[in-house]
Amino acid sequence: MPALTLRPGEWIGWQDIPGRHAGWPPGPVFVTALAPLRSGRRLLDLHVIRPFRPVVAIRDSVRLQVMQRGPGLILGSTTDEAGTERLVVITPLTFDWFREHCSLLTDRFPPSRFTADEDGAPVTTMTGPAYARCLFGREETAMLDGVTEESLPGPKPPMAASQARFRLDHTYDPFDSWLIWRGTAPRAMRDKWLICARDGHLLFRRRAGGHLIYAVEATWRGDRLHLGTVTASRDPRAWAVTDDRHDRDLVVHLINLLLIGVPESAPGAPR
């Protein structure tokens, strides 16, 4: 087996020891660029996207001191701006790698949930890179920003003038907050909702017609997301529900099911 080679445009398994954020998965990372330094010291400059970190994904630059390179493995070390030294373990990204290092995610979002990736491309074999594309998309903007309103084709009308308001008032833990903020877009025909963050709100649009049904105030409190007032459409042409309690239950259900990946019994309402 040849020695592991890193290439731009690929996902790789990545572990920092010690980890960068307690309680968070170690990787993977997406390689955007790399350049070996001509110093004779086995130094490699890597430019990557780190999706797993509090609040949002980031671009990062790493100078890696390569200690060992062999079949399916690169060992190296880095020193960050604070002077913290870390051992880095780089391996090919497989779905088994996800299951070992990101079990919270694979338990909530098993391969059976995905018949298409973030761009609608069919998924026939759930490899590590295919699973990463399902979660983070193919384009760097999607990896960094998550779902946006542009992820839903067609018209996206503003909230109807006829509205109701009620309180959600819930603060989520850091990992759930990260999942919520990334949003979700329809993939298969059965999927009915686009949910994305914009201008301090979490927006819920119906796939049919692009109607904005809910806009939820979303505020970051450190690495925790607080959801406050919900504005709900009361335009009967877009949404037949007129009961605030039911709408509140449905918002919570959609967050749990589609964003956090924790199914609960759904309110008996039209979907």
Tell me the per-residue pLDDT of 213-233, one tens digit each, with 9 for 90 and over.
Answer: 999 999 999 999 999 999 999
Residue 269: the pLDDT is 43
How do residues 117-134 score in pLDDT, each as one tens digit?
Answer: 665 566 667 899 999 999
Residue 271: the pLDDT is 37
pLDDT less than 50: residues of the chain: 269-271
| CB-CB contact of 88 with 27 (8 Å) | no
Residue 2: the pLDDT is 77
Residue 97: the pLDDT is 96
| CB-CB contact of 112 with 31 (8 Å) | no
- Give the span between the Cα atoms of 32 and 188, in whole angstroms: 29
pTM over 0.85? The answer is yes
**Structure tokens given for 61:** 């630059």
Residue 122: the pLDDT is 63
Give the residue from 52, 36, 49 showing the smallest Cα distance to 9. Answer: 49
Amino acid letter, 249: D
Give the residue from 56, 50, 46, 8 showing the smallest Cα distance to 29. Answer: 50
Q: 245 in the Ramachandran plot: left (φ > 0), alpha (ψ -120 to 50) or beta?
A: alpha
